[in-house]
Amino acid sequence: MDLGDHLRPKRCPVPPPLLRAYLLHNCSCNHDGLLRVSGPVLVKRNWKGADFKAGAWGKDSAVGAKSPDHYWVFPANKNNSALESFRLYSSFRKLMLYLPVMEFSLRGANDKCENCGQGGGVIFFNGSFYYNCYHSRNLCKIDPHTLRLLHKELEDEDPPSFNNMFSYKGVEFQDMDMAGDEKGLWMIHASKMANGNMVIRKVNPETLQTDTPWTTSLRKSDVSNAFMICGVLYATKRVNSTHEVIDYAFDTNSAKEYRPRIFLNKPLPTMQSLSYNPNDHKLYMYNDGYLIYYDVKFKAHVARRAGPALAAESGLDIHDEGSQSLAVKTAQSAADKEVHSLGSRQQKIKTSKGEISAIHTSRMA
């Protein structure tokens, strides 16, 4: 059984005859915000090992992504500061087997790290990586297939912080946190003029120009991480070594903030990065070197307007917060079976991974 089936439930776009009903549930923002988050599904450890605790992973966060089945993993180095190398996998099965379609190092010819990233705020959006350039206030974009690199200096009246000035609480060097959702590409940061409060900016994916910022009332150093859904910033706080809580939201559509209270279970103490994917409605967490995902459910205002029958017909969730997602149970069970069945093969690959070249395009799915 290919567990990837559980991780690709829907795609955008879809054939026109089904578009209206499909977008109602999957690719639009026709809901009243986040309702709840499922239990965690632990996929595996990053390919570099237990010492590489910081980083990020996921799928392409652009709606209608070019390669919707591709996964990426971008660990930081051992001191949690520099993003030096990434891997792309053509399927979930290849991710499980440590068989990348590409592995690439951002270090230059003289082993310099001027093209590296800094912190775990990297995102993969419409076929390119976006990240805080190493040791600078620049924003970087790199296409892993053409290796075309674009730098943009972010200097304005209230520039973003960098070099661990205003990172998340308990997480280092994540001053600039990139995010993707149904509305596009975003950057979450803090600044001196904002007194360290969280600032949200829309980013042009082509030019890296940033729009007029929204400044929140929440200090970034009080937050453990954040993500965007439909133009709404959701921020988390650490509860203890096993739980986080989503207890702050800022809606850029209305410039209003509110306080949800949604708990998030985590397998390991530190959540280094958290990002949302609008194509499969999942949160992807990099958790002390391990790759974790969650399913999210939204509040369905269609149910209040047209009744439970239409909501059910549209596939919208109308259950209370105490209910548990059967899909998550199924995915977790399938994950356990997949990991068990692939265990011996993974061990072989781990012991021979030194044979994989720095850049290669073999083993295409």
State the DSSP H helix or E strand holding residue 59, giving kind and residue range, or none if neither. Answer: strand 55-59
Check if the beta carbon of residue 180 is closer than 8 Å to that of residue 280: no
State the DSSP H helix or E strand holding residue 310, giving kind and residue range, or none if neither. Answer: helix 308-314
The pLDDT score that the predictor gives to residue 89 is 97
- Provide the Cα torsion 11, 15, 20, 25; round to 10°: -20
When mean pLDDT is compared over 70-74, 114-118, 337-341, the highest value belongs to 70-74
Mean pLDDT rounded to a whole number for the chain: 81
Res. 329: pLDDT tops 80: no
Check if the beta carbon of residue 75 is closer than 8 Å to that of residue 55: yes
Res. 310: pLDDT tops 60: no
Q: On the CB side of 249, how many CA atoms lie within 13 Å of its CA?
A: 19
Which tokens belong to 174?
A: 């994540």
Which tokens belong to 83?
A: 């993003």
- R_g of the chain, CA atoms, integer Å: 20
Check if the beta carbon of residue 87 is closer than 8 Å to that of residue 102: yes
Return phi, psi of residue 104, to 5°: -140, 140
User: CA-CA distance, 349 to 347, in Å (whole number)?
Assistant: 5
User: CA-CA distance, 267 to 289, in Å (whole number)?
Assistant: 11
Could you tell me which residue, 159 or 32, shows the higher pLDDT? 32
Q: What residue ranges define each of the domains in the chain, with the CATH number in brackets?
A: 29-350 (2.120.10)
Band of the pLDDT at 26, cuts 50, 70, 90? low
What are the contacts of 112-116 at 24+ separation with CB within 8 A? 113/82, 113/84, 115/140, 115/142, 115/149, 116/82, 116/83, 116/84
Res. 137: pLDDT tops 60: yes
pLDDT digits (tens, 9 = 90+) for 241-297: 999 999 999 999 999 999 999 999 999 999 999 999 999 999 999 999 999 999 999
Band of the pLDDT at 302, cuts 50, 70, 90? low
Question: By mean pLDDT, which of 160-169, 194-203, 303-312 is the weakest?
Answer: 303-312
Question: By mean pLDDT, which of 207-211, 288-292, 320-324 is the weakest?
Answer: 320-324
